[in-house]
């Protein structure tokens, strides 16, 4: 009898292990509350840390919108009256060796230890350096404060790959209220915190679900979290580099090209970028993960 009771006890234990954890409805609610509190606390801590880098994060998120505004500006049909008729602009990378132009610095530029303010101009020519690489060189000395930049200094322009077209200074991302800059960076910090918290949030989801799984199903925790995180990053990169730029260009193009200037609300930029990124993240992360697990 003792042997039969021992065998039965082992069978009951194995059966209980196969059935997973047994919890009441209130215990499920308590477990859910614990997981939600931990998740919210982690996201808030991450948002606090992201606050110190919110400026860099915002500039990263606004880049596709700025490029779309610049491209839309280039579509405007603006004629330039010339001596013998209409003329048009050409890019810098269309210049040939020994061509000369007056180059205007579009932004604050460092030449060695000297800072050149935007709007400064200098005569420049296209030539080759000692390694045979073509570039744009100063064709006259340039004064910058107490410093004199000599002739034949190479300007920071890569003529082989072209350049990014400048955005019209009248087309700006603006804030409309006194509190909007603060709210904008809070929103950016929160978006970044949610993105950084994905592995922890996935772990909390799995920890809540796992008691109801069989032992052989619980071994998928590592591939679930690892693959979901990897495909989350891939989905975000796909949306940011492949989906958001053409979407912004298409949506902004018709209106911008027909207006003299455009002011785009700065607060809508993170929302515009993230709302077009999230569906691709979710589709790629969970679709690929479920397919592989």
Note the pLDDT tens digit of each residue in 206-224.
888 887 777 777 788 788 7
pTM check: above 0.85: no
Can you tell me the distance from the alpha carbon of 110 to that of 97, in angstroms, rounded to the nearest whole number?
24
Q: Which stretch of 19-33, 36-50, 69-83, 149-163 has the lowest confidence by average pLDDT?
A: 69-83
pLDDT band at 254 (very low <50, low <70, confident <90, very high): low
Q: Provide the residue ranges of all domains of the chain, joining segments of one domain with +.
A: 25-75+169-292, 92-149
pLDDT band at 43 (very low <50, low <70, confident <90, very high): very high
Can you tell me the distance from the alpha carbon of 274 to that of 64, in angstroms, rounded to the nearest whole number?
12
Can you tell me the distance from the alpha carbon of 124 to that of 136, in angstroms, rounded to the nearest whole number?
6
Report, as an integer, the average pLDDT of 100-117.
87
pLDDT band at 7 (very low <50, low <70, confident <90, very high): very low
pLDDT of residue 52: 92
Contacts of 120 (CB under 8 A, 6+ apart): 104, 105, 142, 144
Can you tell me the distance from the alpha carbon of 108 to that of 106, in angstroms, rounded to the nearest whole number?
7
Q: Which stretch of 51-65, 111-125, 234-248 has the lowest confidence by average pLDDT?
A: 234-248
């Amino acid at each position: 009898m003792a042997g039969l009771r021992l065998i039965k006890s082992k069978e009951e234990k194995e059966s209980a292990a196969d059935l997973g954890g047994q919890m009441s409805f209130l215990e499920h609610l308590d477990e859910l509350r614990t997981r939600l509190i931990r998740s919210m606390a982690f996201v808030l801590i991450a948002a606090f840390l992201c606050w110190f880098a919110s400026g860099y994060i915002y500039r990263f998120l606004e880049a596709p919108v700025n490029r779309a505004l610049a491209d839309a500006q280039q579509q405007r049909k603006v004629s330039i009256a010339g001596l013998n008729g209409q003329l048009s602009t050409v890019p810098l990378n269309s210049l040939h060796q020994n061509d000369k132009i007056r180059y205007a610095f579009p932004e604050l530029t460092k030449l060695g230890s000297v800072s050149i303010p935007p709007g400064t101009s200098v005569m420049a020519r296209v030539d080759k350096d000692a390694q045979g690489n073509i570039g744009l060189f100063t064709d006259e000395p340039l004064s910058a404060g107490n410093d004199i930049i000599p002739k034949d200094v190479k300007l920071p322009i890569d003529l082989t790959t072209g350049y990014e077209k400048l955005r019209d200074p009248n087309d700006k991302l603006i804030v409309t209220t006194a509190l909007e800059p603060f709210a904008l960076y809070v929103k950016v910090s929160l978006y970044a915190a949610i993105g950084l918290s994905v592995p922890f949030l996935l772990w909390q989801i799995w920890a809540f679900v796992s008691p109801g799984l069989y032992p052989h199903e619980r071994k998928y925790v590592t591939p679930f979290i690892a693959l979901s995180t990897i495909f989350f990053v891939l989905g975000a990169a796909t949306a940011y580099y492949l989906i958001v730029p053409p979407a912004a260009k298409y949506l902004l193009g018709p209106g911008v090209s027909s207006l003299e200037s455009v002011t785009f609300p700065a607060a809508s930029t993170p929302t515009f970028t993230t709302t077009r990124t999230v569906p691709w993240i979710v589709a790629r992360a969970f679709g690929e993960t479920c397919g592989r697990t």
